[in-house]
Structure 1
Amino acid sequence: MKKSLLSIVLTIYASQLLGKQKIDLLVTGITVYTVAEEGEISNTIAIEKGRVIGIGTDIELNKNYEARRNINAKGYIFPGFIDAHCHFSGYALDMYKCDLVGTASFVEVIEKVVAYDRTNKLSWIYARGWDQNDWTVKEFPDKSVLDSLFPDKPVILKRVDGHAILANQRALDMAGITMQSDFKGGSVEKKNGNLTGILIDNAMEPVENIVPPLPEQEATSYMNKMEQECYSLGLTGVVDCGVEGDIIRLLEKLYAGNKLTISNTTLLSQSKPTLEQYMKNGPLTKNNLTVSAIKIYADGALGSRGACLLKDYSDKHGHRGTMLSGLDEMSAIADDALKYKWQVCTHAIGDSANRTILKLYASKLKTKNDLRWRVEHAQVVHPSDYHFFSDYSIIPSVQPTHAISDMPWAEERLGTDRVNNAYAYKQLLNQNGWLPLGTDFPVEGINPIATFYTAAIRKDKNGKPEEGFLKANGLTREEALKGMTIWAAKSVGNENKKGSIEIGKDADIVILDQDIMTVDESKILSTRVLYTISKGEIKYQAK
């Protein structure tokens, strides 16, 4: 005891003799939101060697530290945002494709595709982002116009959710798809005895396989561009869902060479070659890349009516959607995941798919646990099934912007009773007391501020509906912030390093120009990022 006390006295005496401690960075703002359980009022953070070593007022910390660099920002400091469910590498490698997001009609789609073809002069055309629910005629288009414009060039137009494709006849021929083609977990749409060109879910694979991969140099360039866009929006971490083995190998190379630095937890695709390559070796962590989970697809999406429901779609009688993976396949993957210590994350949107996955998880997990198996999306859950989340410590991983994007047509698809139990984030939060939030970009936009706004305010960018969409299941601002910081980190087992501003944790910080916790809701979406700092390095600074 005497020796310990003497050591403390000597340390204090030495610090007084030596003066201030030299550190890498001192960051001062108006307020620091630490998101820690017991956060004190503060406005300054001290950072050394990529970690937080001090939190307090500027007066306190300036007495103790001399920084090699000081940031005095007239803004509000938050933990770096983490997207708990996105497609970082997939979006990056789609950047060269024709962008159809926001098109208001199929005519506009065609205009964009024709303009893209004139500019790029490729031997094939690949585009993404159309959504028939945004058009006046809310029906799937057919391939007739594409066939007439591009008789000799394959054209592939992927729907915004990634669960449907419109392909022209040339692409169908190259992929070997005919009237007789049949796919388990997918469908080839037909009308009046002819192919329409619409392929849903597993039926898309043969057509997508005809697209040549990008050269590594180009792929690297797009990955870098994607990373910088994330940093510019305040993201310091992503959970990259459903990545194939060849892309993971590229990611490993880029992270090893420090060509990518954003914190990335990657979820393996469930494809057989990818699982064969990675499963038995167990999870891996290299630099800022962690590959520790497996993404399974249970069903499709609501927008393309592929989500698997317990009862018929309200706007398509006799149709209940599709299970993309068989129960035996999913069970085998879950068994291997337990054996080789992988986290399991399963896409389930419809109430039938959610029930199937929840029961499957329950059969494997047996009781409460800390394995953090996740259900991705959990958009429509039958009220009698919520207990599975709490009984077996299953984590719902949701994307609040989906609720607002689906809002114009969700009731038409689901009917009044089912829609009132959809996008039920408060009910899902209450099961385990925490809820990770993501965007699912590029299905939705990347901006985490939109995640915050739609989670807490439940309105579109125009402030509609005035009462909020299914507002009873909205989150508080505090819950929304935790969902995109500490709970997002916790959902992949990273809460001891990231997700909050605490001494000893990585110095991942975003500084905003206004206080999203208190500003009027009408101003939230106009929030600008002033700085993004990752492990103490400034990755983005507003001009």
Structure 2
Amino acid sequence: MIQRYLIIGLAIVLVTACSTKKDANLIVHNAAVYTADSLFTHAQAFAVKDGKFVAVGTSERILNAYRSDSIVDLKGQPVYPGFYDPHAHFLGLGQVLNQADLVGTKSFDEVVQRLKTFSEKHPTNLWVIGRGWDQNDWPDKRFPTKEKLDAAFPTIPVCLTRVDGHAVLINSKAMRLAGLSKGAKIPGGEIVLANNEPTGVLVDNAMGLVRRVIPQPDAKDKERMLLAAQNVCLSLGLTTVSDAGLNRNDIELVDQLQKANKLKIRDYVMISLGEPNLDYYLKRGPFQTDRLTVRAFKLYADGALGSRGACLRKPYTDRPETAGFLLLNPTELKRVLTLLEASQFQANTHCIGDSANHLILDLYGSLLKNRNARRWRIEHAQVVSPDDFWKFNRYSVIPSVQPTHATSDMYWAADRLGTTRVKGAYAFRDLMKQNGLIAFGSDFPVEAPNPLYGFHAAVARVDAQGYPAGGFQMENAVDRVSALKAMTSWAAYANFEDHLRGSIEAGKQADFVVLQQDIMKIPAAQLRDVKVVQTWVGGEKLFQR
């Protein structure tokens, strides 16, 4: 009889325990969870309901407190908050997927051969478009010229964008369509000449001469591009990407596709500078949806170091007749920044050279005065003078950098800058120390979109082959905890999204990624080869390897 009562009592306890469990849409357990919260807490499990984390803790605690029809046992695999890319060109990635890929070419002859192969597979009577060449990777490091393009494509216009997006090479057919004049002077740009004749290379603002005559994709084309870019990014663990400079029509297209549930990846958009955009968005004000944040304007102070358009305080070491140039004059930059200071918009300014960084930090300071909550950013912060680092702290300026720029440029950066000035370049640790945070992006498609390449570059400061031995300027390497935060919680803060996501915490959106190996523990040499197993956005699995 006693035994019978014990059995009944145990049954009652089990029924009661089950009935007190809370419902969840998803339970993940038996995992190595890196929450990236303020304490960098480790956990084993979490529960998700209605697209948000509702509890995080040990497997025992979560399984005892929650029930779900979807329970995932990860068998010890590592889990991280969904990776961020706070400075990229998401639509641009979709565009280059349909263009000739010139990344990694070892000579201009290889560029021409790739174009021929591409045009055979994609015959056209319109334009041949490519991107990714870098003369710094070739035996002859001078800018290429148009003659070999003319021979290969005498009747079809060709436009080839340099890897950094700050120079193009065009052939004679494209020059005629653009109405290019050798005597034209372009403020903030350069028509490169040889023997007083255009070579076909256009730098920075001069690129507009040809881009205005290239046929543009329509909304349907752009939809295909965005969806193709989404597939790439999700396969790499990216759950929030960015578009560093879009016009109103493209912003509204992204919003429409997200609301139609076609575009499920989240997008942080910086509005392209221009009077129509300023007029419209300053009146409307910032806005944020479940998947879209629009509260920043993208400004350009200067160009790129690789094409010598970066604005330096002293001339280039390898071309002493120039110090680069500004893309907007200081008066115009101050006018726009004054408008933004009077609004609730964030100012995100592209600054590569030490002169551009110096100018913008001082302009920010004149408007922001002291420490503040505006989260204004300098994008790239690539070359900073020793006497300017402190201004990031004084004015609460967020450095938004791209670690792979360091490992792409390290082969020739000292040639451009000299051995002393280069020490203030790609100074991620020094920048991080100013405010105790930094944001890591990739600037894709300038660089590869894989966030683990940036993680590797930040902590190891070497390229894919492990060069150089011992790392490049290792005094500015970043520890792994900081590197992970820079691509999750700190990046979310830089995007005004830290209350929504960026860490695995109760109440935040359930964006997370599962990797094959633990990037916090494996040897640095293995980091670039780690594969994504699953990518989840809002508790929905969008990628499975």
TM-score (ref. length: structure 2): 0.95
CA distance in 1, matches of 2:14, 2:333: 62
Gaps of 5+ in 1: 1-11
Listed one character per residue, the Cα deviations across residues 230-269 of structure 1 (whole Å, up to 9, x for unaligned) are: 1111111112101122221221221221211211110011
CA distance in 2, matches of 1:156, 1:76: 44
Q: Cα distance, 1:284 vs. partner? A: 2.1
> What SS does the corresponding residue of 2:298 show, helix, strand or coil?
strand
- AA aligned to 2:100 is C
Residue 233, structure 1, aligned to residue 271, structure 2: no
- Say yes or no: does 1:211 pair with 2:214: yes
| Contact 2:91/2:222 (8 A) holds in 1 | no
Q: Following superposition of structure 1 onto structure 2, how do residues 159-308 of structure 1 map, counting pairs within 5 Å?
A: 159-308=162-311
RMSD value, Cα: 1.6
Q: What residue is the counterpart of 2:81 in the other structure?
A: 79
AA of the residue aligned to 1:470: Q
Per the alignment, do residues 252 and 399 of structure 1 end up closer, same or farther by CA in structure 2, a change over 3 Å counting?
Answer: same
Match of 1:105 in 2: 107
What is the rounded CA distance, in whole Å, between the counterparts of 1:15 and 1:105 in structure 2?
A: 73
Partner secondary structure for residue 340 of structure 1 = coil
Runs of 4+ more than 6 Å apart: 12-15
Deviation string, structure 1 residues 260-303 (Cα, Å, up to 9, x no partner): 12111100111333323323211122341111100000000000
**Contact 1:281–1:340, Cα closer than 8 Å, also in 2:** no
Pair 1:354–1:15, CA change in 2 (3 A): farther
Match of 2:137 among 130, 134, 144: 134
Cα offset, 1:455, TM superposition: 0.6
DSSP-derived class of the 1:420 partner: helix
Q: Shift in Å at residue 29 of structure 1?
A: 4.1
Secondary structure of 2:349 counterpart: strand
* AA aligned opposite 1:411: A
The residue type paired with residue 92 of structure 2 is: G
Counterpart AA for 1:504: G
Q: What are the Cα deviations for residues 25-51 of structure 1, in whole angstroms up to 9, with x where unaligned?
A: 011243111111235442111111111
Quick check: 2:81–2:512 contact (8 Å CA) kept in 1? yes
Q: Kindly indicate whether the alpha-carbon contact (under 8 Å) linking 2:86 and 2:268 is maintained by their aligned counterparts in 1.
A: no
Change (3 A) 1:404 1:18: same
Following superposition, the deviation at residue 13 of structure 1 comes to 13
Residue 50 of structure 2 aligns with which residue? 49
Structure 2 unaligned regions, length at least 5: 1-12
8 Å CA contact retained: 1:29, 1:76: no
Instruction: Please state whether the residue corresponding to 1:84 is helix, strand or coil.
Output: coil
Q: 1:252 to 1:40 in 2, by over 3 A?
A: closer
- Return 154-163 or 321-330, whichever deviates more: 321-330
* Cα distance between partner residues in 2 of 1:39 and 1:471: 24
CA distance 1:271–1:14, shift in 2 (3 Å): farther
Out of 225-234 and 247-256, give the one that drifted further: 247-256
CA distance in 2, matches of 1:29, 1:284: 38
Q: Render the CA deviation track for 1:106-130: whole Å, top value 9, x for unaligned.
A: 0010011112222222211111110
**5 Å matches for 1:318-357?**
318-357=321-360
1:412 to 408, 411, 415: 415
Q: Relative to 1, partners in 2 of residues 1:198 and 1:40: Cα closer, same or farther, differing over 3 Å?
A: closer
User: Does the 8 A contact of 2:149 with 2:171 survive in 1?
Assistant: yes
Distance in 2 between residues matched to 1:377 and 1:410, nearest whole Å: 15
Following the alignment from structure 1 to structure 2, what is the Cα–Cα distance between the partners of residues 29 and 411? 48
Stretch deviating more after TM superposition (87-96 or 376-385): 87-96
CA contact (8 A) 1:100 1:127 kept: yes
For 1:231 and 1:325, how far apart are their aligned partners in 2?
A: 36
**How far apart are the structure 2 equivalents of 1:315 and 1:328?**
30
Task: Give, in whole Å, the separation in 1 of the partners of 2:450 and 2:285.
Answer: 32
What's the counterpart of residue 516 of structure 1? 519
Give the SS at the match of 1:308: coil
Partner SS state of residue 71, structure 1? strand
**Residues 376-455 of structure 1 mapped to structure 2, 5 A cutoff:** 376-455=379-458
Report the CA distance between 1:91 and its aligned residue. Answer: 1.6
TM (norm. structure 1) is 0.95
> Quick one: which amino acid aligns to residue 392 of structure 1?
Y
SS in 2 for 1:401: helix
Matches of 2:470 and 2:151, distance apart in 1: 47
Task: Indicate conservation of the 8 Å contact 1:270/1:294, yes or no.
Answer: yes
Question: Relative to structure 1, is the Cα distance of residues 341 and 518 closer, same or farther in structure 2, using a 3 angstrom cutoff?
Answer: same
- Paired residue type of 1:46: A
Paired residue type of 1:355: H
Identity over aligned pairs, percent: 42
* Residue in structure 1 matched with residue 159 of structure 2 by the alignment: 156
The more displaced of 69-78 and 103-112 is 69-78
**Which residue is 2:26 aligned to?**
25
| Residues in 1 aligned to 2:252 and 2:21: alpha-carbon distance in whole angstroms | 45
Per-residue CA deviations over 1:190-249 (Å, capped at 9, x if unaligned) read: 101211000000000120111112132222112111112111111111121011222212
Query: 8 Å contact 1:255–1:286 — kept in the other structure?
Result: no
Find the aligned partners of 1:15 and 1:390 in 2 and give their Cα distance.
55
AA aligned to 2:89 is: H
- How far the C-alpha of 1:15 sits from its partner, in A, is 7.2
